[in-house]
Structure 1
Amino acid sequence: MSPGDGNDDGLYGGTGQTRTRLPEGGPGDGYGDGRRPTRSSSRSLITVVGVVVLLIAAIAFANRGGDESSSGGGGTDKPGASATAPTGTKPVASGFAHDEQGAQSAAANYAVLLGGDGMFKVESRHSIVDGIYTPSAASKLKGPTDEAYSTAFLENLGLDADGNPPQGSTFVSRSIPVGSKVLEHSGDSAKVSVWYMGLLGISGASSTNPVSSTWQTWTFDLQWTNGDWKITADSQKSGPTPVPGDERASTSDDISKAIEEYGGFTYAR
């Protein structure tokens, strides 16, 4: 949520930037002439300890350009707009099984949390970091993440200092896991990769940062800590990226309506 070669590890604290090329803008809408956005690969950066990876994905959209670089409440028909809690229920971030399946579930759900709009607000960001990283990793991350999500960075995305979009616009930041894979597993430690599609941007008639997508693989080093899987470090690289289809890009009104009506998943796997 989230600052070579697409196969390098990614760094959080904004020490590098990814760039993603978007379609040329058309009149009025900010979504161009309806053509599907073109995508360029993201360059991954060097990892300190985790969350900062999200910033890579975010900067990929905030600094749009041409180069490639690295990186329940029941009964309603319309879920809420929150990216990770459409029904008001908090996303699943604990209670995973102490096995390979549990490690994959933890990694997929952590990718959802780290790719959500909660990372753009101080209080929710600190809560996320404390909840899914080991205590030692979390203590090292809060300062760098706060620096990374600076006022200047938020302004590049079109947000105010509190992480809010302009009135009448909808901010979108979501990670949608497509699959997961266990790379290593031994007792109390695991390394799991999550392949996901990310969405980031602002939907609105006057938006200069329209919602676009990227494909990334997020790899988490997990440690069984205090009865659950927690992140000790993570890295990110671009792809695998499918061939774009022939669908035309939707209007900003359609995107805003979809975000309002389709809440993100509270349980990713």
Structure 2
Amino acid sequence: MNLDDGASGGGDEQYGGVGQTRTRLPERGGDVYGGARRGRSSSRSLVTVVGVVVLLIAAIAFANRGGGDSSSDSGDNKPNTSATAASGSRPVKSKSADIPSDFAHDQQGAASAAANYAVVLGSADMFDKRSRDGILKTVIAPSRVAGFEVTLDKAYTPEFNQKVGLNEDGTTPQGYTFVSRTTPIGTKLTAFSAGKATVAVWCSGLLGLAGQNSTNPVTSSWFTITMQLQWTSGDWKIVQHSQTEGPSPVPGDDRASSADDMAQAVEEYGGFTYAR
């Protein structure tokens, strides 16, 4: 289900076509941080959705699955890396409320804007009403801000906060570290004109509560966000957003870190500003 606060919905480009891989995974104990491999938890799915809802593509419900279209445009199966290769230019000129802004009015600027917006809309700041409203005013087209605020206020409820391990008011329980991060892996421009652009951003995400005895330990997920951007007031702004699951790699054999290590990493490692 796609929500765009009243805008007409646009279909996501579907992703798929991974090859078959046989992997032998070792058996492990049951400790939630250092032991058994976990599937995506219900809280991870819910906030993937709120990352989804975050951009208005779904109210608290599972994100739409991408299809299995594995066709290619040519017989050459080599990946095309030029879409996200470094250009040598500087599309990000400044920041507004600590969010990159003043992107270049070209394809590079649109791709950079989409990647940066994916990061901030998947951040822990979205769980705080004041921070969330500030983010929306910065990255959303002015004519759509009010609708986005209404949609997200209905999504970030006390019940939802509890489901992801937070207190009802969205604050983090004492002794725990709340983690919500989105990391762009690559971008793909699917449409572009002087005033509009559609960009797909392949992402990985972290979500959960780091701390001893956490019932919502930090887990990872993979998803693709598609943003429709509009050039307005001298910058690229979001007018519509949707999300699909994957493409997801085969999980590796890395042992999960301890709760303390995860909390320390989140506190010590800052995020990035993405610019092509």
Give the shorter-chain TM-score range. 0.7 to 0.9
The answer on 1:230 being equivalent to 2:274 is no
Instruction: Determine which of 31, 36, 51 is the counterpart of 2:55.
Output: 51
8 Å contact kept, 1:177–1:268: no
- Deviation of 1:144 after TM superposition, in Å, equals 1.4
Aligned residue in 2 for 1:134: 141
Cα deviations by residue, 1:216-260 (Å, 9 ceiling, x for unpaired): 000000000000000000100000001111111111111111111
Cα deviations by residue, 1:144-182 (Å, 9 ceiling, x for unpaired): 101100111101111113321211100000000000010
Aligned residue in 2 for 1:96: 103
- Deviation of 1:266 after TM superposition, in Å, equals 3.6
8 Å contact kept, 2:54–2:122: no
Give the 3 Å change call, closer, same or farther, for CA 190–148 of structure 1 in structure 2. Answer: same
- Deviation of 1:50 after TM superposition, in Å, equals 6.7
Aligned residue in 2 for 1:240: 247
Aligned residue in 1 for 2:79: none
Aligned residue in 2 for 1:176: 183
* Distance in 2 (alpha carbons) for counterparts of 1:93 and 1:54: 25
Give the 3 Å change call, closer, same or farther, for CA 180–157 of structure 1 in structure 2. Answer: same
Aligned residue in 2 for 1:185: 192
* Distance in 1 (alpha carbons) for counterparts of 2:229 and 2:261: 38
Structure 1, unmatched stretches of 5+, are 1-8, 14-23, 61-68, 72-88
The TM-score with structure 1 as length reference comes to 0.73
8 Å contact kept, 1:180–1:195: yes
- Deviation of 1:105 after TM superposition, in Å, equals 0.4
Secondary structure of residue in 2 paired with 1:93: strand
Aligned residue in 1 for 2:120: 113
* Distance in 1 (alpha carbons) for counterparts of 2:59 and 2:177: 19
Instruction: Determine which of 257, 261, 272 is the counterpart of 1:250.
Output: 257
Cα deviations by residue, 1:21-50 (Å, 9 ceiling, x for unpaired): xxx9945xx43x5233334996998xx997
The answer on 1:212 being equivalent to 2:219 is yes
Identity over aligned residues, as a percent?
50
Aligned residue in 2 for 1:35: 36
Letter in 2 for 1:52: L
* Distance in 1 (alpha carbons) for counterparts of 2:59 and 2:30: 28
Q: Which runs of structure 2 are paired with 1:134-173 in the superposition (5 Å)?
A: 134-173=141-180
CA RMSD of aligned residues (A): 3.1
Secondary structure of residue in 2 paired with 1:248: coil
Secondary structure of residue in 1 paired with 2:144: helix
* Distance in 1 (alpha carbons) for counterparts of 2:58 and 2:100: 17
Secondary structure of residue in 2 paired with 1:160: coil
* Distance in 2 (alpha carbons) for counterparts of 1:11 and 1:148: 12
Give the 3 Å change call, closer, same or farther, for CA 34–119 of structure 1 in structure 2. Answer: same
- Deviation of 1:54 after TM superposition, in Å, equals 7.9
The answer on 1:70 being equivalent to 2:64 is yes
* Distance in 2 (alpha carbons) for counterparts of 1:54 and 1:199: 19
8 Å contact kept, 2:54–2:152: no
The TM-score with structure 2 as length reference comes to 0.71
- Deviation of 1:198 after TM superposition, in Å, equals 0.7
- Deviation of 1:187 after TM superposition, in Å, equals 0.8
8 Å contact kept, 2:64–2:244: yes
Aligned length: 220
